[in-house]
Amino acid sequence: AIKNGKGLHSKKEVPIHRVADISGETQKAKQFLPFLQRAGRSEAVVEYVFSGSRLKLYMPKETCLITFLLAGK
């Protein structure tokens, strides 16, 4: 890989991944809400656990961070 310049050893520029953190900004969250509701079931990775019912999730497909609250009836 080093000799052929493949993967990590290539001379190409590394692509910049922009992640939108919509957990604190109400305006951004309102923009993303209809899109996330229409998508239905989504995959996410837990970034941080604040408590048993409050999680910070990274959604790789949408490239955004959201705060997720578990609540019951």
The percent of residues above 70 in pLDDT, for the chain, comes to 100
Q: How far apart are CA 50 and CA 48, in angstroms?
A: 6
Q: Residue 43 has what pLDDT? A: 93
Q: Which position has the token pair 């509701």?
A: 37
The whole-model pTM stands at 0.69
Which residues 6+ apart lie within 8 Å of 46 measured at CB? 55, 56, 57, 58
pLDDT of residue 73 exceeding 90: no
**Confidence label for 47 from pLDDT (cuts 50, 70 and 90):** very high
Inside any domain, residue 33: yes
* Amino acid in the structure at residue 25: E
State which residues form the domain around 63: 16-69
Looking at the domain assignment, is residue 3 inside a domain? no
- How many angstroms separate the most distant Cα atoms in the chain? 60
Q: State residue 27's pLDDT score.
A: 86
**pLDDT at 49 exceeding the cut of 90:** yes
What domain count does the chain have?
A: 1
3-state secondary structure (DSSP) of residue 42 = coil
